[in-house]
Amino acid sequence: MPGWQALHEEFEAKGLTVLTVALDLEKSKAQPWVDEASPTHPSLIDPTHVIDRALGIVNVPMAVWIDETGTLVRPAEGASIEVSPLRSAEIPEETPDRLKALLTEVKKMPDTAEAYRDAIADWVEHGADSAYALTPEEVVARSQARPPEHSKAAALFELGCHLFETVGKDAAVPLWKEAHALHRENWTYKRQAWTLESTAEGEPSDLMQEVGDVYGTSWLDDVMALGGGENYVVVPTLD
Amino acid sequence: MLLTETTIDPAEFLTGTGWEAKPEGLCKGDMCVPAPEAVTADGQLDVETIAERLGMALVSDSESGVKALGPESGGRALTTAVVPELELTDMDGNPFKLSSLHGRKVLLVAWASW
């Protein structure tokens, strides 16, 4: 959040507004992060993942670029503007095996932070003439595929969120589980559901997300099942 | 979007899905799909007909009868590059329309605490 706020401050006078959307079912979990960043940019919350359905978001952080007319010039893609400190951190020898395996996969995630940041600056400067601003046809073509099962996953996730609020978590879990199986590449459905099992009240969210008892999996197991850290991010094509 | 009935008011459907009922059919941005049978005699939209026509999954909770309609499918995640009118809320609970930022470039970033 502080990074996005800094980006907003840097480019606001040049015509760019950064808009951050928290995909948090529980607002209280997002609030401390927002408070810390003291955003002057619009900071929104989307507990049922409207932007997954409307814009094709499947993980965080991801972003879309919207021009002055309300037209997308880049579809949903991995959006990182700072290199994660986890990437360069040495993995100590005594690290437990599971955590070591997880950190190894994190290091394999393609890192486009610098190029992505430069691309934003280029777009702010040159608008539609920027090489990074795509035509409407390119935007649609480069968005993720959406087979019928992804539509069902979206509906199940949303209905699960409704049951979570009205009945309780146990009512939501079977629907979320089915949603996860139908749209495996959507990490927002998984990580949101899993954190309710793996994060203790008042604790920061747990990277490991070992949720075998309820979901029969974990973050690491799912990353491996989908081909490892290399495939975790929708890498922006910036050439 | 969540539903409790099998028919829906066109304005509500537009807000919930980005699809607008026009004389030429159901339209989103520059894309229109003919669907004459989707409009009922009293001007409402028949959800099951639309779901089938646009590839929208329809699931329901048997206890409460509440239904959820998924987004259109069968192609790409984006049907059009035109951003639908999205209304979310800010952290203080105030409604925020994406269209209020027309005239500016917008970098919309999804993040989460988890």
One domain, residues A92 and A159: no
Q: How far apart are the first and last CA of chain B?
A: 24
Chain A residues with beta carbon closer than 8 angstroms to that of B109? 4, 18-21, 61-63, 79
The three-state (H, E, C) secondary structure of A158-187, written as one string: HHHHHHHHHCCHHHHHHHHHHHHHHCCCCH
Per-residue pLDDT band for A70 (boundaries 50, 70, 90) equals very high
CB contact under 8 A, A55 and B77: yes
pLDDT at A211: 92
pLDDT digits (tens, 9 = 90+) for B27-82: 998 899 999 899 998 999 999 999 999 999 999 999 999 999 999 999 999 999 99
What proportion of chain A, given as a percentage, has pLDDT over 90?
Answer: 90
Of the candidates A142, A170, A204, which is a domain's last residue? A142
In a domain, A238, yes or no: no
- A40-49, A123-132, A195-204: least confident range: A195-204
Q: Is A41 left (phi over 0), alpha (psi -120 to 50) or beta?
A: beta
Determine the residue among B28, B78, B90, B96 to mutate to test chain A binding: the one whose Cβ has the most chain A Cβ atoms within 10 Å: B78
A131 and A181, same structural domain?
Answer: no
Q: Which of A142, A167, A183 is the C-terminal boundary of a domain?
A: A142
Nearest to B91 among A43, A141, A195 (CB): A43
Distance from CA of A230 to the nearest CA of B (A): 20
Enumerate the β-bridge partners of residue A212: none
Peptide bond preceding A39 in cis form (omega within 30 of 0): no
pTM: 0.96
Looking at beta carbons, which residues of chain B come within 8 Å of A62?
109-110
Would A236 be classed as within a structural domain? no
**Are A100 and A9 found together in one domain?**
yes
**Greatest Cα pair distance in chain B:** 47
Which residues in B lie closer than 8 A to residue A29 (C-beta atoms)?
Answer: 113-114
Does residue A233 register a pLDDT over 90? yes
Indicate which CATH number applies to the domain containing A83.
3.40.30
- Under DSSP, the state recorded for A115 is H
Specify the DSSP element, H or E, that contains B92.
Answer: none
Spatial contact of A68 and A45, defined as CB atoms under 8 Å apart:
no
Between B58, B78, B99, which is nearest A139 by CB? B78
Return d(Cα B32, Cα A38) in angstroms, integer: 42
Same structural domain, A130 and A14: yes
- B81 and A73 in contact by Cβ < 8 A? yes
Domain that holds residue A181: 148-231
Among residues B57, B79, B50, the alpha carbon closest in space to that of A151 is found at B57
Q: Which candidate from A139, A148, A191 shows the least CB-CB separation from B73?
A: A148
Q: Are residues A88 and A50 in the same domain?
A: yes
The C-alpha atoms of residue A74 and residue A123 are separated, in whole angstroms, by: 11
Q: 3-state DSSP: chain A helix, strand, coil percent, rounded to 5?
A: 55, 10, 35
Are B68 and A178 in contact, with CB atoms under 8 Å apart? no
Cross-chain residue pair A30–B108, CB shorter than 8 Å: no
Looking at residue B53, what is its pLDDT? 95
* Same-domain check for residues A104 and A180: no
> Closest Cα to residue B109, out of A21, A124, A44?
A21
Among all chains, which residue has been given the structure tokens 């480019």? A11
